[in-house]
Amino acid sequence: MIERYTLPEMGRVWSEAHKYELWCRVETLVLEAHAAAGRVPADVVEPVRQAPPPTPEAVAEIEATTQHDVIAFLSAWADNTEPRSAAAYVHHGMTSSDLLDTALAVQLTDATDVLLAKADRLVAALRDHGMAHRHTLKVGRTHGVHAEPDVWGHRVADLAFAAARSRDRLRAARTAVGVVAISGAVGTYSLIDPSVERIVAEALDLRAADASTQVVLRDGISEWVSSLAILATVCEAIALEVRHGQRTEVRELSEAFGSGQKGSSAMPHKKNPIRSERIAGLARVVRAAIVPVMEGIPLWHERDISHSSTERVFLPDAAITLDYLLDLTAGLVENLVVDAARMRANLDSTGGLIYTSAVLLELVEGGMGREQSYALVQGAAMQTWQTGTPFRETLRARAEADGVALDEGKLDEICRPERYVANLDPLFERLAALS
């Protein structure tokens, strides 16, 4: 991922230097287990443990000849080991994927922990914002068209619970990818004792694979990437709400606009939802990882290498992008500008059409047939759309023409927006408890 969207903590998780640190750690744990069992000389452990990880440059130089990254790493690390002869017992009984998959499991779980912390921040920001606007009236929209009265906090609550569910999916996926496999060339432990795998898994606070061939089957990694994509798409849903709310015709929401910020090189008046649009664009990057990574599940027999290049691109990119997205989205919510007066003005802008559903039910409950009631209310509503005459007036005229008596007192009660949100208290109690 390009530097523009890479935050330091997550960038460190996926750096080449850190990868080789993890490879050294895994190889050292395996060597320690062998030495404890008496399979290799005990005096080789300390020289290997003290050998500094090779630099990415040193590994790359050797790999240019070997065309094999693990062999290049082992050779470069051996060059740092004193005496070099101790390195002869490194990678004892292992195959490359024992190292690669186990170290990758550490990277994936470490990356997940970074993401979970930021997802917690987003959930808290949405919860607090929703609670702050539990009484902020707005119009609810379906198909982009005014529907019934609502409160802004209700819409935010929906997004808060979605973010929390998505975070919890990611937490579950952490278990799916936190898998150690140190089982040899085709997973039969032919040259390495199964106890080594268990010891290493315990040391890394991971779990040993239920079964492996030369690799761990990629269903767990596919689950992890899918959970990242869902969370990224929830971020996009938040951003989309802001983008709509910041449209000139709506003007209910807006991103914070800092002193000295500019919106356009040509139009000085512009205040554009650039953060929200960036979130929408980057969510596509995360979703794009799903299919290529999932296609790493079917490999030839005990393993081929077709998944490797895909994962080198998409796993770090998906994690780094979502990390940036979560940070950006949390900041968007924490600094969101809400125009409550504009929300109320928009709610009232259709002359009362948002109350047609309650009027329909009132007529039915008063004894009128549903079809007759619907025809009366729809006819009045269409006249309001066409002429701009307030709905109560067109309704009154239609009812009089049809010989239908209206209870104006009940209509007064029906046409109060607060009536439509009176049953939301239990929802906000759940929202207040969200963590």
Domain ranges of the chain: 1-92, 95-256+264-345, 351-422
Establish whether 143 is a catalytic residue: yes
pTM of the model: 0.93
Name the pairing type of β-strands 179-180 and 207-208: parallel
Distance CA 73, CA 27 (A): 11
* Backbone conformation region of residue 206, classed left if phi is above 0, alpha if psi is from -120 to 50, else beta: beta
pLDDT, tens digit, for every residue of 22-81? Answer: 999 999 999 999 999 999 999 999 999 999 999 999 999 999 999 999 999 999 999 999
Q: What is the pLDDT, as a whole number, of residue 179?
A: 96
Q: What is the pLDDT, as a whole number, of residue 218?
A: 94
The residue ranking higher by pLDDT, 433 or 304, is 433
Say whether pLDDT at 108 is over 80: yes
CATH code of the domain made up of 351-422: 1.10.40
Element (H, E) at 254: strand 253-254
For 25, residues 6+ apart whose C-beta sits below 8 A from its C-beta are 103, 106
CATH of 1-92 given 1.10.150.110, 3.40.50.1820, 3.30.70.1400, 1.10.275.10:
1.10.275.10
Say whether pLDDT at 128 is over 90: yes
CA distances for 176 relative to 4, 19, 50, 216, 303, angstroms:
30, 20, 32, 11, 20
Q: Which of 256, 255, 323, 249 is nearest to 285 (CA)?
A: 323
Q: Which of 195, 264, 309, 349 is catalytic?
A: 264
Q: Which of 143, 259, 269, 435 is catalytic?
A: 143
Maximum CA pair distance of the chain? Answer: 104
Say whether pLDDT at 373 is over 80: yes
Burial of 122 (0-12, 13-18, 19+ CB in 10 A): buried
Say whether pLDDT at 188 is over 70: yes
Q: What is the pLDDT, as a whole number, of residue 266?
A: 83
Q: What is the pLDDT, as a whole number, of residue 258?
A: 79
The residue ranking higher by pLDDT, 259 or 101, is 101
Establish whether 264 is a catalytic residue: yes
Q: Are 136 and 154 in contact (CB under 8 A)?
A: no
Q: Are 433 and 164 in contact (CB under 8 A)?
A: no
Where residue 248 falls among pLDDT bands split at 50, 70, 90?
very high
Find the range with the poorest average confidence among 224-233, 270-279, 337-346: 270-279
Fold for the domain defined by 95-256+264-345? Fumarase C; Chain A, domain 2 (1.20.200)
Q: What is the pLDDT, as a whole number, of residue 1?
A: 66
Say whether pLDDT at 107 is over 70: yes
Mean pLDDT, range 392-415, rounded to an integer: 92
Mean pLDDT, range 136-164, rounded to an integer: 97
Mean pLDDT, range 114-138, rounded to an integer: 98
Mean pLDDT for all residues in the chain: 95
Please count the other Cβ atoms lying within 10 Å of the Cβ belonging to residue 285: 20
Proportion of the chain above pLDDT 70, given as a percent: 100
Say whether pLDDT at 367 is over 80: yes
